[in-house]
Structure 1
Amino acid sequence: MIPDFFEQLPRSQREAVDSAGYRVMRWMAARDVLQARVAKGRIAGPLGAFLAYWLSLAPAKGAVSDLWLSFSYTQDQAKLKLVGGSPTLAHAPLEQALLHLPALRSFWSQELRLQHFVALRTLVPQAWLMDSAQVPPGAVIQGLDAVSWERLPQLRGQEWEIQDAKGQVLANRSLSLDSILTSRPASGVVLKAWYGRNDKEQVVLRSKEAAP
């Protein structure tokens, strides 16, 4: 355990941890709305079919009795990232990819409110749903600046992983329909935080501890 680590973080990072429990709860609620809209066919066209396929692969959502989240903090980059927790979406690469999916930006902005959406995108590691659809001519994969999955030289490095929908790392790093490209978390201090509700039913930070 690292004493006083939380107090040594920049103010913006401490506030991010303080608010993360509430924001993740909003994310969970918005995710339920997305599931319902897709199930009822309220998102039409190619996007609806795309979401229906990927949501069918999503890991089962377990009950959350005690809300806790874990964060990785790298001091050299001054970055705090959500890497685990009791809600499934806190550690599922498919859920991370859905949060960062450009086609869902307006949905998340409306359901989460823009400030919470922006904060979650900063906190949640980016991931990409890899499918067989061709990138349109003149376009690139957002966040990667590549015209196709096969044109990603970073895949040969050590900073990326290819996982299946359940979060299992694919040993052969294959580019297949059901794969998700994720960034390998940098080594750093892991901060674990527990949340609860106060007498006003607000989600607040209860306790935290850090370890190398």
Structure 2
Amino acid sequence: MNFDWALVGKAVPLLATGLLTTVKICSLAMLLGVALGGLLGLGSLSRLAPLRWAVRAYVDFIRGTPLLIQIFLVYFALPVIGINLPEFWAGVIALGLNAAGFIAEIVRSGVGAVERGQSEAARSIGMTHGQILWHILLPQSLRTVVPPTTNELITLVKGSALLSVISVYELTRAGQAIIAVHFAPFEIFLLIALYYYLTISTLAWLSRWLERKLPVW
């Protein structure tokens, strides 16, 4: 079999367009995931039992169901109750809600890993639960939380390939469109894999760089 270098040259800019959409979707989804996941993680540490149970139910649902089903729920089920989302925003919300469930657990475990004696010392000098959380637990858990959070971003980028099933023109969908015309799956899927590899390698490098910059408590 001859490797079609001419097709690869044509496909590079087309796949780059799909990659740009992937980056946009994943960036917005991660912002949503970090914001919502952070709130849920803090909610899981609340003294209000109903709030903790609600967070646990959400996290269990996200962790216990496939991402593909969650995408279908956002894109196909929400219109039943009158919420119609374009493919792009359905992808952002589905990925963001998925990431939030995992980030909530990352925050909960990261804060819980801080030595209990520090909380007890803070309470002994009259600090409230909120002050302890904000001024003592969260800053010290940051170095623990960042690596798994960036790993979740990497997982998010790889999971974004599933958005091709709802016709989002991201990297994988762009490759499928090229294959449908030129019937050269080997070259195109190899090129798609290279795009994902370079993107994820860059994210992994940024994660290590950020971890080195964080203060050691």
Same fold by TM-score greater than 0.5: no
Q: TM-score, normalised on structure 2?
A: 0.27
- Scaled by the length of structure 1, what TM-score is found? 0.27
Structure of greater Rg: 2
Relative to its length, the structure with more helix (as a share) is 2
User: Between Structure 1 and Structure 2, which shows a larger proportion of strand residues?
Assistant: 1
Higher relative contact order (CA 8 A, sep 6+): 2
